[in-house]
């Protein structure tokens, strides 16, 4: 598997200790910086304080990445090396293709749930303005933040530490492991972990196919997260007793289709089509 073409040969090499501590250190610092909010604004819920910590951590990441890439990679154009900066048409094209892939995958899940009698279609009228904005924020926010970390910084850094194929597999494994895949336990946990690994592989290879532009991966990742939120917020009702192998593991009417059979088949098919298409 060739390395992604957008990342130049490093003039310097990062150290494993820096790679392991960089993002967790920023996350911990962001968490500490927002702890006083609980006393300043007692009305804030703990999850709101934690969200503020995540936002602060992301800001710290954005502010420090150019320094990190300059010192550890010897990179003078950090945002281009990360795939964030590119010609506008390349960004729009990649983002649109990523969103389209997300819609196709979600359509497969919805179709299987409806055909199997595990869900009921409600329609767009059930979504209010706030839920629509939430879905849009998830598309852009979660897609950008996680792809900047995993397919931008982490994958690029790993390519300078290990062989290209190992870097590809390792970034997908790390991406999967840091998500809460084990909450359901048993086969549900195995299904979710496997689905997350497949998603991580697809996202990395999509960036490679887009000549290093990160926005296709952002569109696919954000589209899946935001699209599934919109479906659960009112477009689709997952019925009680829906099979976890069809809907995915999760509590009650809130399954995660990435860990279900349809999710696995869809993500696996994407990998096979990409391999066939690229020869």
Q: What is the pLDDT of residues 74-88, one digit of tens each?
A: 999 999 999 999 999
Q: What is the pLDDT of residues 118-145, one digit of tens each?
A: 899 998 877 788 888 999 999 999 999 9
Q: Which residue has the tokens 């819609």?
A: 103
- Which parts of the chain sit beneath pLDDT 70? 1-12, 252-253, 276-279
Domain boundary among 81, 97, 113: 81
- Residue 1 counted as domain residue: no
Domain of residue 36: give its range: 10-81
C-alpha closest to that of 75 among 140, 26, 9: 9
Q: What is the predicted pLDDT for the residue at 277?
A: 59
Q: What is the predicted pLDDT for the residue at 10?
A: 42
Tally of structural domains, the chain: 2
Whole-number CA gyration radius for the chain: 19
- Residue 3 counted as domain residue: no
178, 193 contact by CB (below 8 A):
no
Residue 212 neighbours by CB under 8 Å, 6+ apart = 4, 5, 6, 7, 83, 86
pTM, entire model: 0.91
Let me know whether 215 and 138 are in one domain: yes
Let me know whether 90 and 74 are in one domain: no
How far is it, in rounded angstroms, from Cα 26 to Cα 198? 27
């Amino acid at each position: 598997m060739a390395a992604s073409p957008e990342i130049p040969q490093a003039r310097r090499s990062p150290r494993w200790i820096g790679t392991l501590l960089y993002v967790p250190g920023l996350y911990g610092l962001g968490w500490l910086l927002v702890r006083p909010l609980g006393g300043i604004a007692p009305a804030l819920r703990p999850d709101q304080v934690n969200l503020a910590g995540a936002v602060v951590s992301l800001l710290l990441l954005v502010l420090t990445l150019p320094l990190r890439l300059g010192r550890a990679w010897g990179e003078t154009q950090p945002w281009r090396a990360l795939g964030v900066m590119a010609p506008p048409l390349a960004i729009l094209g990649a983002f649109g293709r990523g969103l389209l892939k997300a819609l196709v995958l979600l359509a497969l899940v919805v179709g299987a749930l409806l055909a199997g009698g595990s869900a009921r279609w409600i329609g767009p009228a059930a979504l209010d303005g706030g839920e629509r904005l939430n879905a849009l924020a998830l598309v852009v926010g979660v897609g950008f933040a996680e792809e900047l970390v995993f397919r931008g910084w982490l994958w690029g850094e790993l390519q300078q530490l290990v062989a290209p194929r190992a870097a590809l597999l390792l970034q997908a494994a790390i991406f999967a492991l840091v998500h809460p895949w084990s909450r359901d336990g048993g086969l549900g946990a195995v299904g979710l972990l496997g689905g997350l690994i497949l998603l991580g592989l697809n996202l990395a290879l999509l960036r490679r196919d887009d000549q290093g532009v990160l926005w296709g991966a952002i569109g696919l990742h954000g589209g899946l997260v935001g699209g599934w939120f919109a479906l659960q917020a009112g477009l689709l009702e997952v019925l009680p007793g829906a099979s976890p192998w069809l809907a995915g593991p999760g509590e009650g009417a809130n399954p995660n289709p990435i860990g279900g059979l349809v999710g696995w088949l869809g993500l696996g098919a994407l990998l096979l089509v990409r391999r066939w298409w690229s020869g």
